[in-house]
Amino acid sequence: MPKGHRPSPDDQPELPLSGSVSPSVDQPAVDVPVAADSAATPSSPPTTGPDVVLPAAEAAAPVAAQNNDSAPLAASYKNWFLDYASYVILDRAVPHLDDGLKPVQRRILHTLWEKDDGRYHKVANIVGATMAYHPHGDASIGAALVAIGQRGWLIDPQGNYGNALTGDDAAAPRYIECRLTPFAREVLFNPKTTNWQKSYDGRSNEPVALPAKFPITLLEGAEGIAVGLTTKILPHNFNDLCRASINHLQGKTFRIRPDFPSGGIADFSAYADGERGSKVKVRAKIEQRSRMQFAITELPYGATTESLKTSIEGAIAKGKLKVKRIEDMTSETVEIVIELSSTADPDKFIDQLYVFTDCELTISPAACVIIDDKPSFMGVSEILRRSVDRTRALLGRELEIRLGELDDQWHADSLERIFIEERIYRRIEAAKTWEAVLEEIRDGLKPHLKKLRRDVTDDDITRLTEIRIKRISAYNRFKADEAILALEKEMKSVKHDLAHLTDYTIAWFERLQEKFGKGIKRKTTSNEIEQISAASVLTANQKLYVNKVEGFIALNTRKDDFEFVQDVTSIDDVVTFLKDATCKLVKVAEKVFVGKDIEHLHVVPKDGDDRFYTLIYQDKESGKAFAKRFQLGGMTREKVYNLAASEGSKLVFLDETKNQESMPKAVTVYLSGRCSARVKEFIFDLTELTLGARGNKGVTVTQYPVRDVKRA
């Protein structure tokens, strides 16, 4: 297997898996299930034979344990999973640092370069040709090609490539065409500096990594999900990357921030160089065209007009937005027109969009690339530094190759000049054999060897014999001298560039920016995004109703057995007190069951319930009546809180107020007419009660059954 080749679905291991055990002849064959994506899983069935090597622990195990059918299966699964995880990380999901490309992208671009003749190629043809290198189906290749074409930096698309703004799909591969961009030809390809490896089936050669002379992974962005890790590198502006590259070469500090093709507003205060744990808040750009009409003109990164419209419609359905009409007029630029209903609050509408829809999103970058066949997490600044250092090394390698080519050409031209000007070709007229011809030329060159820079080889002499008579007769000494002088001048220039390689690399980036960076401005506006509270942007545009007997609360119902409570927002919480001396916190919804026999309910403020309660209840267990004062404190939604000493008690009096001074001073207690008490009506002083927790028992009011309690 060639160096650098990694396992593919069609590869079979030459050696048995470590730890596998050969099944007995009498044992039936075991069918081992494989992953659903069998085309992507490098499955390697365990081999059998005397060369199987067991780990030390298994070698020491009893023979009976070694014959257990589950042992080879477990070992096989363990090895297969590790192979699969390694394959997905290295050969599918994560871009390589050297060229910033995933394998499928690299193979697509390599295929386009092989077929490049300046004209467009059918995408279906490119997909089919790429399958000679890529071990997966045409769908993954086609999707990757369309994605590169939509960005437009490396592939020049022609035809319907869909719309990245709206999320529309591209036309079928047989209808669309593509070719390499001039930028891709300039920065990605050079066969002389490319390291090659065999393709997955061994029939072709493919690049281990393209000799990219630009941080492609930062320009294009990358996203992938592997086994146990993910990568998400955000796209950056071309001119920003060029300037940062030049600053790095000059030893200056630099900072790069993402620039999204969809524009929008972004808060990079927590970007942290794109490392794991960083955050970027992105927002759509929204403009107000009239009092009741708004338009979304730029998208947050990661959203499409379709997904954005769906999220707005969802917020409308939940009553969080009051919108009369939505119209998506997006073509080359984004334009989603929103017309508000007459009950909406236009002053809060933009903030409402940011809070309740995908007009504001949070992105979590995690820059991960492959370095030395291992995934590595690092910041985008470090990725740029390493990419620029590689560009400098590649440019130096290209200069060395060019210098070698010039030296070879100078040597060949000098030999030819000596061969013709010194009339050495006449010495071979009398030679009878090929060996004699070569010897005559070698002898003729000996007096002139000092004019050359290196030894004359047999290949050099053979090339001299291939010079045609017509060329010799048309030889022009003046032109030959000019050609050699031009070679010497270029060699001097290349040597100078090699001696000043950093300056040469800086000039190369400046030329690249001048050639391809005109008119490439940042699309994303950088601004600090302030956190908006949902409570601050909601208006009380929902109507809350209650059916106290059946124990339901509902929004905007028209049923006769419900009575109106108050106007609420869609995110409000309601606390309810039931006649069994329990309370419960619930969120308002279309219809919610709280519990039968609701005594009292009210909307809880967003900063918590700050009311003061006076409660008298008839205890189920002791039969006594108790009074207490309390505040609710923190509560969990849908949890039932018992306010009495025992379950099944009865609430006979409840008073709530926002001001502690206005709490009742005394109450009139009416006892049951059937009780044995001589006084069945008396005043109970509440001023002696202290404010306690909601779970306290309270003080005794009476030991007799209470018929009613009223504020005195």
Tokens representing residue 52 in the block: 């199987």
CA distances to 321, 567, 602, 605 from 540, rounded to whole Å, are: 11, 5, 14, 13
Q: Which residues contact 525 (CB under 8 A, 6 or more apart)?
A: 263, 264, 265, 266, 285
Distance of CA 433 to the CA centre of its chain: 72
Asked if 396 and 192 touch (Cβ cutoff 8 Å), the reply is no
Q: Which residues contact 164 (CB under 8 A, 6 or more apart)?
A: 150, 151, 261, 262, 304
Asked if 401 and 428 touch (Cβ cutoff 8 Å), the reply is no
Would you please indicate which residues are annotated as catalytic (active-site) residues? 175
Question: What distance separates the 2 farthest-apart alpha carbons in the chain?
Answer: 155
* Residue 625 three-state SS: strand
DSSP notation for 442-466: HHHHGGGGGGSSSPPPHHHHHHHHT
Which residue in 104, 101, 99, 97 sits closest to 40, CA to CA? Answer: 104
SS (H, E, C) 201-245: CCCCEEEEECCCCCCHHHHHCEEEECCCCEEEECCECHHHHHHHH
CA distances to 50, 336, 377, 407 from 295, rounded to whole Å, are: 74, 5, 39, 65
The residue type of 698 is G
Rg (CA), the chain: 41
- The torsion region of residue 215 among left (phi > 0), alpha (psi -120 to 50) and beta comes to beta
- Rounded to 5 degrees, φ, ψ at 352 are -65, -40
Tokens representing residue 306 in the block: 């379709």
Question: What totals of helices (H) and strands (E) does the chain contain, helices first?
Answer: 18, 33
Q: Which residues contact 620 (CB under 8 A, 6 or more apart)?
A: 644, 646, 647, 648, 649, 650
- The torsion region of residue 133 among left (phi > 0), alpha (psi -120 to 50) and beta comes to alpha
